[in-house]
Amino acid sequence: MTPTRGCWSTPLEFRRSWLGTVLGNVVLGYDSTVPVTVEDMVRATAAVTRGAKRAFVVADMPFGSYQSDVPTAIKNAARLMKEGGAQSVKLEGGMSMEKTISALVDAGMPVMGHVGFTPQSIHSFGGYRVQGRGENAERVIEDALAVERAGAYSVVLELMPSELSKEITERLTIPTIGIGAGPHCDGQIQVLHDMLGLDPTFRPRHAGHYGDFAEAITDAVRRYVDDVATGSSRGPGVALLASGLNLFGSGFVVCEQREHMRL
């Protein structure tokens, strides 16, 4: 199970694709998932569902789209399914979200839960911190039990000790999906950008090291820029001159126009 952000054609077909609000970090340039909007998620979900032929698509409900009241949560979840094409929604929180999860399920919307470290609460946690250590372990267990009790069909366990995720997995009857929670969950999920090493400044240990695509992409673009600058690469369109390269900051800037354009 791998979170995706757009319509990417590949011979691989995952059983499930999870459209995470982490797109705020890896695509939209935010420093957290908090600023992501329902409109952002609808657009990203629709892109993925157009490319996913067999995968079961799960869409994250963004911060502020479900916490205020049940009718708001139902309205926004319906948008992700109707306009985005998702087959399910995911929301963060345990005991505090039990009523909301139950109402969504009653409205015919499959729900995936999420407990432990919940990224939309990053400011409350004071950063990316492992949850469920010591006395807090029982709270995470109760959160997971509340998600199951509310009718969710599965639950994500994020950033917690492996012994805790093992206990939760053994106590629940619904599948657990782990991310940074050890090997004992029923399934695993990773952010595609982290797994492929697309951001050289952020490489969480739990993502493993399956590629260094940041270096490969940077090298390919730099060689293209050099070819344009030296005149060894001429296309039928606009003549361009290298002016900068920024793959992982505010955008993808390769070239600027010369004084004239040849159309």
pLDDT tens column, 85-109: 999 999 999 999 999 999 999 999 9
DSSP letters for 82-138: HTS--SEEE--BSGGGHHHHHHHHHTT--EEEEEES-GGGHHHHTSS-----GGGHH
Token pair of 36 as six digits: 């992501």
- 187: nearest Cα among 144, 164, 232, 154: 154
Indicate the class that CATH gives domain 2-211. Answer: alpha beta
Q: What would the mean pLDDT of 141-170 be, rounded to a whole number?
A: 98
Could you tell me the residue ranges of all domains in the chain? 2-211, 214-257
Ramachandran assignment for 152, one of left (phi > 0), alpha (psi -120 to 50 degrees), beta (any other): beta
158 annotated active-site: yes
Q: What would the pLDDT profile of 31-86 be if each residue is shown by its tens digit?
A: 999 999 999 999 999 999 998 888 899 999 999 999 999 999 999 999 999 999 99
Q: Count CB-CB contacts under 10 A for residue 260.
A: 8
pLDDT given at position 235 = 52
Helix extents (H) in 117-232: 122-125, 137-150, 162-171, 192-195, 213-230
pLDDT given at position 9 = 44
CA angle 172, 176, 180 (to 5 degrees): 130
pLDDT given at position 233 = 61
* 89 DSSP β-pair partners: 59, 111
Q: What are phi and psi of 106, to 5 degrees?
A: -65, -30
Q: What would the pLDDT profile of 14-37 be if each residue is shown by its tens digit?
A: 556 777 888 988 889 899 999 999
pLDDT given at position 192 = 83
Catalytic residue among 158, 170, 215, 259, which? Answer: 158
Which of the four pLDDT bands, split at 50, 70 and 90, describes residue 211?
confident
Element (H, E) at 50: helix 38-51
Whole-angstrom Cα distance, residue 154 to residue 180?
A: 17
Whole-angstrom Cα distance, residue 119 to residue 92?
A: 8
